[in-house]
Amino acid sequence: MSEVERTIMNLPRRDAPDKLRGRTKYTNDRMDSTTLHAALLRSTVPAGRIARLDVSRALKCPGVRAVATAGDAPGLFGIGVADHPLFASDTIRYIGEPIAAVAAETLEQARAAIAAIELEVEPLAPVLTMEEALAPGARLVHENWRNYEILFEGGSRRGNIAWEAKAMRGDVDAAFARSDVRIVESTFRVGRQNHVPFEPRVAICSWEDDRAHIQTSTQVPWTVRNVTGRVMGLTPGRVRVTVPAVGGGFGLKFDATIEPITAVLARKTGRAVMLENSRFEEMTTCLCRENADIRIRSAVAADGEIVGREATVLMDCGAYGGEQIFLTTMTAHTLGGNYRLGAVRLTSRAIYTNTPPNGAFRACNGVYNTFALERHTDEICAELGFNPIEFRRRNVLGDGDLGATGQPFEGEVLRPMLDRMEGLREKVGSARERAAGRLYGRATTVGTWFIFVGPSSATVNLNADGSATLVTSGVEIGSGTMTQSLPQIVAGQLGLDPRDVIVKQADTDAAGLDVGVGGGRTTVSIGAASIEACVPIREKLLKTASEMLQTPPERLTLRNGRVEIAAVPGSGATVAEVVQRAQSISGPVTGTGSFTAKNVPAMAGCAMGHFIEAIDIPVFAVHDAEVAVDPETGHVEVLSYSVVQDVGRALNPLAIHGQVQGGVVQGLGYALHEEVTLGGEGEIRQSGFETYRLPLALDAVPVAIDLYEGAPSMGPLGTKGAGEVPILNTAATVACAVANATGRLVREIPLTPPRVLRILRDREPALPHPHISADWLQNTLD
């Protein structure tokens, strides 16, 4: 049995029994009677200058142990650009921005003290939309943007443009000037999506041995360590981050704004301090998936070849650059993906506004760019008279084709996946009769995601009882990587039962660097590091057993918890016996491994301002949906949903199917009813579950799933990340199906009943996007 065969199984989650019985201690379950509670004073205006901030009355309130303000955490942090203070000191930039924090014996006392803080603000006229932010003479959200420390070189910035990334390949002007092409142009707009993980952002910090120990619900323990050190002026090594079970993340918990506040208050009080966002705070300062405006234009030859494409994507980063700056990178691969392009130029701009900051959300940037790209593709097909599936079959990226930044793609994947979808469609059949008098539409779309691998490390210790302990900075956010794929991988390498692989939860004091759980990278990156960690362990086991059994190492194998003579099952010794022997002769049996990308870089001069130089692992998906649109009410019902997903190799098919089902339903929420709108002051209006409409059981649709295996991947054992991708083209697929059902253009999502009714009655506004020039060069700096 090969190590691959030993690794593949439907291992059940080890954390499920405790989670189902209420025994799991998430971060917000870890307070006790000695924990202090923190509350925040948050801004109620979107823009202003702090004229006076007096906390002396708050300090005298009952139960109060400390108050913190900007003076306690003077450092600025950010991704790419250090533009973000922990507390507003002089300038307020959004409703909900923290200004001060109180730690008190009870939460009620902390909140009462917050109310006693005296704050005077001189309001400024807010900049609430990207259109306003880009208008000539617009007020600067960051007046001193030139003075910020640059953490990553290469992007362009100016005024309210926090960051700009570009991808350029080939002569686009020549392509559009050809006499034999038709030019198709489309504009799109998407709103924000709120993550709503069930556990809010929360942290508990204690001050131990003159260091901060933060327990937090995070996806990025090393970022929390670094940001906390940075804002407090401590070396990051004086911050320890441990991560209990996380009650959902979806990208929201890439944030590090709660944790440093608890560290400041813990240092001041010497006590453990817990800060947990209330549901209102969580909803209104959520770091939503960003709202975006998109213009895309293509030159298509009569035979369907896409000879030129150009696009501009405006991403609203809100008051601080944060992850949007990083995410500008993704556009080259999401909007510039899927199809073979003759020449291409794309610009992606993160724009400051006086609104709550946005952030990363599952398949970040890709979900709406895929919506735009696939709708644009169908608009091309409608204008030029192509069959949409045949057009895709002709034009999807294949072996050796170049991406927008000039990286060659390896392997023929999307085309055979389209064939597999045809098979799946036949197998599932049509649900058309269930449309029952409503408008019926069906669509098939393609999607390209890519996994950014980044650095990870792993240590494996083999124990005297024959078990192994895996130490990493990985975090279990609900996707099962720490409870299923990683123990399976280690067990497969060492011939153990995966139930005998203990996985240590993230602790920055114990494990090496990791860039966090997101983008589908954990199984790939930590998995590869884990395999490397097992190499010296195998060598030591085989060498020791060889001496014990008087048999050459090459005739031995690791299986079923034993070191056996390969030809004689059940022979040899148990791993426990061999470990005990090895420990006595040569010391502990342990190995460490590390991993980072060995990637395909961009072509010289094609990518500017990109945080990720290369596509590490492209991942493809093909989705198909049937919808019924009620012309009276505008309600869209999804009648069937099918997914063919490229997973490289499925180590735990049961777990991957669960990720696909969950991702698709989350995507259906985004496509159909999850709507975040901003009020007149730039505040998020959907402040709770009553007003933000999440998918319920009756909204869920069973997803027919076909996992496509065997595509090239540098992931361990041929794996690719599987949890991020399922949401990538749900909105695209539903929008295309609704456009087919109604015979109208769909330019905006979510497709709520009022919007669908406007579409049906031709009352949905056109999107002229005056803030995106028709001349692409006008949309770029430099």
Residues found near other proteins in the complex (CB under 8 A): 10, 12-13, 15-17, 19-26, 28-29, 31-33, 196-199, 245-248, 250, 278-279, 477-480, 654-655, 658, 661-666, 688-690, 694-698, 700-703
Three-state DSSP state, 751: coil
Beta carbon of residue 250, minimum distance to other proteins (angstroms, whole number) = 8
Beta carbon of residue 248, minimum distance to other proteins (angstroms, whole number) = 4
Q: Which of 556, 655 has the CB closer to other proteins? A: 655
CB count within 10 Å of CB 453 equals 25
Phi-psi region of 363 (alpha: psi -120 to 50; beta: other; left: phi over 0): left
Q: Which of 55, 660 has the CB closer to other proteins? A: 660
Q: Which of 277, 463 has the CB closer to other proteins? A: 277
Beta-sheet strand order (sheet of 573-574): 556-559, 562-565, 573-574
Q: Which of 234, 82, 222, 57 is nearest to 150 (CA)?
A: 82
Query: Do the Cβ atoms of 168 and 604 come closer than 8 Å?
Result: no
Q: Which of 359, 662 has the CB closer to other proteins? A: 662
What are the structure tokens assigned to 707, written together?
A: 């996992």
What are the structure tokens assigned to 102, written together?
A: 């109180």
HSE, side-chain direction, 13 A CA sphere, residue 698: 1
Three-state DSSP state, 460: strand
Beta carbon of residue 668, minimum distance to other proteins (angstroms, whole number) = 9
Query: Do the Cβ atoms of 622 and 421 come closer than 8 Å?
Result: yes
Beta carbon of residue 93, minimum distance to other proteins (angstroms, whole number) = 28
Three-state DSSP state, 249: coil
Residues 6+ away with beta carbon under 8 Å from 333:
366, 403, 404, 405, 448, 449, 450, 615, 618
Q: Which of 467, 666 has the CB closer to other proteins? A: 666
Q: Which of 453, 625 has the CB closer to other proteins? A: 625
Q: Which of 32, 632 has the CB closer to other proteins? A: 32
Beta carbon of residue 690, minimum distance to other proteins (angstroms, whole number) = 6
List Cα–Cα distances, 296 to 158, 184, 188, in angstroms.
23, 8, 9
Three-state DSSP state, 553: helix
Query: Do the Cβ atoms of 50 and 89 come closer than 8 Å?
Result: yes
Residue 390 phi/psi, 5° resolution?
Answer: -65, -35
Q: Which DSSP state fits 716?
A: G
Residues 6+ away with beta carbon under 8 Å from 752:
634, 672, 673, 675
Q: Which of 404, 665 has the CB closer to other proteins? A: 665
Beta carbon of residue 249, minimum distance to other proteins (angstroms, whole number) = 8
Residue 591 identity (one-letter amino acid) = G
Q: Which of 573, 656 has the CB closer to other proteins? A: 656
Beta carbon of residue 523, minimum distance to other proteins (angstroms, whole number) = 15
Q: Which of 343, 638 has the CB closer to other proteins? A: 638
Q: Which of 346, 475 has the CB closer to other proteins? A: 475
- Please give, one letter per residue, the 3-state secondary structure of 106-153: CHHHHHHHHHHCEEEEEECCCCCCHHHHHCCCCCCCCCCHHHCEECCC
Beta carbon of residue 434, minimum distance to other proteins (angstroms, whole number) = 13
Beta carbon of residue 314, minimum distance to other proteins (angstroms, whole number) = 28
Distance between CA atoms of 474 and 511, rounded to whole angstroms?
9
Alpha helix positions (H), 357-413: 366-384, 388-395
List Cα–Cα distances, 379 to 61, 206, 223, 388, 695, in angstroms.
63, 57, 42, 9, 29
Q: Which of 425, 657 has the CB closer to other proteins? A: 657
Beta carbon of residue 77, minimum distance to other proteins (angstroms, whole number) = 27
DSSP 58-121: HHTSTTEEEEE-GGG---EE-SSEE-EESS-SSEE-STT-EEEEEEESSHHHHHHHHHH-EEEE
Beta carbon of residue 272, minimum distance to other proteins (angstroms, whole number) = 14
Beta carbon of residue 729, minimum distance to other proteins (angstroms, whole number) = 16
Beta carbon of residue 665, minimum distance to other proteins (angstroms, whole number) = 3
- Bridge partners (DSSP) of residue 673 are none
Beta carbon of residue 731, minimum distance to other proteins (angstroms, whole number) = 15
Q: Which of 544, 666 has the CB closer to other proteins? A: 666
HSE, side-chain direction, 13 A CA sphere, residue 737: 33
Q: Which of 20, 604 has the CB closer to other proteins? A: 20
Three-state DSSP state, 771: coil
